[in-house]
Amino acid sequence: MNILKEKEKLNKLLDILKDFSQKDIEKLEKLDRQYRALEKLYKNLKDEKLFFKLVLINALMSYQLQMKGEDYWEIFSKFFSENQNINDFERFITLYNKRFLNAKIKRLKKVISCVEKLFNFYCIKHFEENLYLLVKNLSICLSQKEDAKTIVFAAKMFMYAYKIVYNKKPKGLENIFIPLDVRLLKISKNKDFWLNLFKNTNFSPIELDVLLWVPQNLDKKTLNSLDENLRKKIKRFMTFLNAIK
């Protein structure tokens, strides 16, 4: 690894990110197709507890997908709007998330057990003061590291769900690592790079995920619908991204 190159990349990205605001994050969150999929699901379910359970289970099973994440969450939303039962999850996985299916079905049983235990012990609002507690509990129950991608991704999707239901974000986001998927790994595979990025911005890691992940899949029409100021910031980030590939 070229340390100097990583440092230069870090400094350039920090310079780009300093122009973004919390309002920009809120706008981008609502443009995230995954966020919109959750909005539709909640509207159709009208059951808070089931909604949060389904979101967490699906997030914890979101790996080695056979399609783009946005497509997968839209299919998830439609499927469980029509099949409002956790018992239908194995059928859903078999239809739409079947890479390494036997291993996934085995994991699914453990995931459902962990999520059910979580909600038997805690109410949803317990995590409002500190979302890190969700990460800690899932990590212990699933025997995974607290920065494991599916664990922190589950926290991000819980954050989305919480905002949809209660119109506010939980606290404690700064203690949760960023979910490093293939899009973010193009920026850097080095964990120290990301830790340095977090230390030098005013955003939590999972808020940074919104800034760095969502713009990479905005279509031209959506991008052009944004106000000029935000559009310029996104275009500057995309120019940076194209330069480092």
Residue-by-residue pLDDT tens, the chain, 245 positions:
556 588 999 999 999 999 999 999 999 999 999 999 999 999 999 899 999 999 999 999 999 999 999 999 999 999 999 999 999 999 999 999 999 999 999 999 999 999 999 999 888 989 999 999 999 999 999 999 999 999 999 999 999 999 999 999 999 999 999 999 888 998 999 999 999 999 999 899 999 999 999 998 888 888 888 899 999 999 999 999 988 86
Cα separation of 210 and 203, whole Å? 10
Cα separation of 25 and 44, whole Å? 26
The model carries a pTM of 0.94
pLDDT at residue 217, as a whole number: 84
DSSP-based three-state secondary structure for 63:
coil
pLDDT at residue 5, as a whole number: 86
User: What is the SS3 assignment for 168-198?
Assistant: CCCCCHHHCCCCCCHHHHCCCCCHHHHHHHH
Q: Is 149 a catalytic residue?
A: yes
Q: Is 219 a catalytic residue?
A: no
- Point out the catalytic residue in the list 71, 88, 147, 181: 181
pLDDT at residue 4, as a whole number: 59
Best CA proximity match to 101, nearest among 60, 63, 141? 63
pLDDT at residue 168, as a whole number: 92
How is residue 46 written in tokens?
């009208």
CATH superfamily of this structure's domain 3-244: Hypothetical protein; domain 2 (1.10.340.30)
- Point out the catalytic residue in the list 68, 149, 191, 235: 149
The position carrying tokens 């506010």 is 168
Domain boundaries, the chain: 3-244
pLDDT at residue 220, as a whole number: 86
